[in-house]
Structure 1
Amino acid sequence: MKGFSYFIGIYMLSLLLTACSATPGESTKTREAESLLASLKRIPQKGFLFGHHDDPVYGIGWDGDENRSDVKSVCGDYPAVMSFDLGHIEKDSDKNLDNVPFERIRKEIVAQYHRGGMVSVSWHVDNPVTGKDAWDVSDTTAVGSILPGGVNHEMFLGWLDKVAGFMNSLSLADGTKIPVLFRPWHEHTGSWFWWGQNLCTIEQYKALWRMTYDRLQEKGATHLLYAYSPGTEPNEIAEYLERYPGDDIIDLVGFDTYQFDRQEYVDGMEKALGILTEVGKMKDKPIAITETGYEAIPDSTWWTETLLPVIRKYPISYVLVWRNAREKKAHYYAPYPGQSSADDFVKFYQDTCTLFVRDLKDIQF
């Protein structure tokens, strides 16, 4: 077992220092959120966490089963990071945009916390002007319309309150709120979401982040960490940070990228990880590959011959692949039993750099 046996002492020390060194008003985060952040900074000393979106709620050939996971079915272990999406919570729907009940998501977040793992949450929120999905870029006034003074501002504050309500419901029996990494307004260096680069100004994008953060803080969601995750479009540090909303808001920096052409993917990863490593040092933030993958994983050795050789060279805290859709043919990013890359994924799992739930038995996020 590639355990974290020595890490418990470091982790407990971080808890003690957090409790003893903070002065009133110095931090607006809960103790648990601060401990998660400290742990994310230390993870690269031993490797990186592996994550999978919607991992325990559906997969290839199944939907809604309890205690099931395509990743676990292949390697015998759960991902150390699980992510979920809040899209449609703004509509008062009981299910998200991928037809997963919010109550089930809540249950799985609690379960992942009890396993000792971590949770990330994204929000593919519908276009507030057109009412269509997050990918509707037909109107360039959406961001401006929800900022203070905009025609949809009050409506959008209500949407943020629904997010806050869900986040605040993520608690244990004793009332402790489960720390979560929140990742809104992602991939903004592209223009396929209504908050993308060509759909709003730099000032509007930063104001969107500030409004989001301030409202969730006001509503008591102080157990959240925040991730900034553009794509691989930036070619230098200044471009990466062009729309960065501020050190006081952002806790982790990352990027999203997917493979289409292998060499372009590898080159893009190297470029982005080089930039990200420098930004992490400059800002004293943990870094991560917040979304990646190769749809349907047609390369049987992709895990150990494409992904791993690149990312093991950089001090990332985690890498997360996207979902295994049960409603779309060949739209999956983690292997399932019998899939062509499953054996290679087991080798990936066995590598000393990759960390899954069992590797975290001595540490709780």
Structure 2
Amino acid sequence: MLARFALSALAIAGAGTAQKTVYQAEDAALNGVKVGTSVTGYTGTGYIEGFDESADTITFTVNSSTSQLYDLELTYNGPYGDKYTNVVLNNAGGSQVSLPATTAWTTVPAGQVLLNAGSNTIQIQNNWGWYLIDSISLSPASQRGPHKITTTPVNKNANADARALLKYLGSIYGKAILSGQQDQASFDWVVQNIGKTPAILGLDLMDYTVSRTSRGAVSKDVDHAISFAKKGGIVTFCWHWGAPTGLYDTADQPWYRGFYTDATDFDVAAALGNTTNANYTLLMNDIDAIALQLKRLKDAGVPVLWRPLHEAEGKWFWWGAKGAEPAKKLWGIVYERLTVKHGLNNLIWIWNSVDPSWYPGDATVDVVSADTYSQGDHGPISATYNNLLSLTNDTKIIAATEIGSVMEPAQLQAYQADWVYFCVWSGDFISGGQWNSLDLLKRVYSDPYVLTLDEIQGWKKTGKKKSLRFRG
């Protein structure tokens, strides 16, 4: 039988402060997990441990007298390293929540939940597992005020194209979301099967990297970008940067996996130790090779939503493998070399990690973002959005630069999760049916809140859409 908690009398405490209500995990319904007591410092009569299988869950049933948005917090202990959990409301939308490594009981924001009047379930699902859960808490959410974002590029020499793009993003921020799709083949699948053309085409400079071109890699992604821009579209590039040397190039770790930490012995911290070592020179050569491609885009009048060193805090790519400081140092070098040495003033700089200790600073970041994958969860990813909101005190536009499952537009609006665009990853993520059904994709792409290519025409000249159909 599910444990039941009443929110029918969430009291107003003292001088008008909304009361926080705490729910002990050991009182909820447990599946595949158990109550523990050996790690001291918990509240209540124990905590929940044993998250080691994909089906492991804790389920709270919460009764609410009204339909209302609540802030959710989660208290945990993370003795086994950095982890993620999923928090899912009423078996449908939710959030992936980061649980950084800690040996102390720690409370973190876990997004928001829009409770229905009556009975609701809040479920903690395993995801990465291997953490301890003490409790959750709910408090009524405050209505968020106007955003404080800037639309002035951090590069003072940004050209008119880049300035128009950032201005346009600011003009729709919180009012609509741009649709996006990674990879030309998957983009074409969307057009053919959904009958709509995404506003953003996501591409990769991966196969312009020296360690790959020297092994025969070729790419047409810059050509695809120029072609799409001529149609009035917006392009974004990431860079799966194959390590410049030290690739294992074995049967288990072939050269084409060379951007992964486990496929190379390249040490970014050592390479950045001084400017005279050979590996530092190789890094600069790689940046210069990529600069040639970005210059092609600049010369063609194409501004780029530019996302290098993505997912650094995950440490699964070599540029994040040695921790935050080398990654931030490399970011600064890439920024300086591309903007100052190469004069690439067509770039909007997108940082792609959430942890504040990894953030390189407002001076070199135009947009903050996250990549999130939670199969079958079409919720607003509100925990991650809110963490990014806090990262820059709401001064930077926020983007969902890679997703697996598309978000329900109604939930984005209800949760005030104002992602400026989404970009679904390629292959089975968009076309396989497991992450997104075709019916869902058609419905999302037809929603007034979701903008497609035909609805953004003229953005570069005006900084605005010609005929807005979004609400707000």
TM-score by length of 2: 0.57
Cα separation, partners in 2 of 1:144 and 1:182, compared to 1, 3 Å: farther
Specify the alignment match of 1:179 in structure 2.
303
User: Structure with the greater relative contact order (CA < 8 A, sep ≥ 6): 1 or 2?
Assistant: 1
Identity %: 25
Distance in 1, Cα, partners of 2:436 & 2:447: 19
The equivalent position to 1:121 in structure 2, one of 237, 243, 255, is 237
Specify the alignment match of 1:30 in structure 2.
159
- The Cα of 1:26 is off from its aligned counterpart by 8.1
Does the 8 A contact of 1:277 with 1:315 survive in 2?
no
Distance in 2, Cα, partners of 1:228 & 1:187: 9
Distance in 2, Cα, partners of 1:45 & 1:95: 44
The equivalent position to 2:398 in structure 1, one of 271, 282, 287, is 287
Q: Deviations over 1:271-298 (max 9, x none)?
A: 1111123335x2521111111114xxxx
Does the 8 A contact of 2:243 with 2:318 survive in 1?
yes
- The Cα of 1:266 is off from its aligned counterpart by 4.8
> Does 1:227 pair with 2:372?
no
Cα separation, partners in 2 of 1:340 and 1:242, compared to 1, 3 Å: closer
Aligned counterparts, 1:93-104, within 5 A: 101-102=218-219, 104=220
Specify the alignment match of 1:11 in structure 2.
none
Specify the alignment match of 2:291 in structure 1.
164
Equivalenced residue count is 297
The aligned amino acid for 1:144 is A
- The Cα of 1:113 is off from its aligned counterpart by 1.3
- The Cα of 1:112 is off from its aligned counterpart by 1.7
- The Cα of 1:176 is off from its aligned counterpart by 5.2
Specify the alignment match of 1:300 in structure 2.
none
**Secondary structure at 2:173's aligned position in 1?**
helix
Cα separation, partners in 2 of 1:71 and 1:159, compared to 1, 3 Å: same
Distance in 2, Cα, partners of 1:114 & 1:88: 23
Distance in 2, Cα, partners of 1:221 & 1:88: 20
Does the 8 A contact of 1:168 with 1:177 survive in 2?
no
Distance in 1, Cα, partners of 2:223 & 2:155: 32
Q: Deviations over 1:14-58 (max 9, x none)?
A: xxx98xxx9xx981211111111111112225310011111x3x2
Tell me which protein shows more helix as a share of its residues: 1
- The Cα of 1:261 is off from its aligned counterpart by 6.9
Structure 2 portions without partners, runs of 5+:
1-150, 248-254, 464-472
Cα separation, partners in 2 of 1:354 and 1:180, compared to 1, 3 Å: same
Q: Deviations over 1:258-278 (max 9, x none)?
A: 01474xx859x2211111233
Specify the alignment match of 1:206 in structure 2.
328
Specify the alignment match of 2:366 in structure 1.
251
Does the 8 A contact of 1:147 with 1:211 survive in 2?
no
The equivalent position to 2:419 in structure 1, one of 303, 312, 316, is 316
Cα separation, partners in 2 of 1:286 and 1:292, compared to 1, 3 Å: same
Does the 8 A contact of 2:261 with 2:315 survive in 1?
no
Does the 8 A contact of 2:404 with 2:429 survive in 1?
yes
The aligned amino acid for 1:323 is S
**Secondary structure at 1:316's aligned position in 2?**
coil
- The Cα of 1:317 is off from its aligned counterpart by 0.9
TM-score by length of 1: 0.72
Does the 8 A contact of 2:350 with 2:369 survive in 1?
yes
The aligned amino acid for 1:180 is V
Specify the alignment match of 1:354 in structure 2.
450
The aligned amino acid for 1:318 is Y
Tell me which protein shows more strand as a share of its residues: 2
Does the 8 A contact of 2:162 with 2:304 survive in 1?
yes
> Does 1:134 pair with 2:259?
yes
**Secondary structure at 2:430's aligned position in 1?**
coil
- The Cα of 1:207 is off from its aligned counterpart by 0.8
Aligned counterparts, 1:102-113, within 5 A: 102=219, 104-113=220-229
Structure 1 portions without partners, runs of 5+:
1-16, 60-67, 235-239, 295-302, 325-331
Larger Rg: 2
**Secondary structure at 1:195's aligned position in 2?**
helix
Cα separation, partners in 2 of 1:112 and 1:36, compared to 1, 3 Å: same
Distance in 1, Cα, partners of 2:246 & 2:205: 19
**Secondary structure at 2:396's aligned position in 1?**
coil
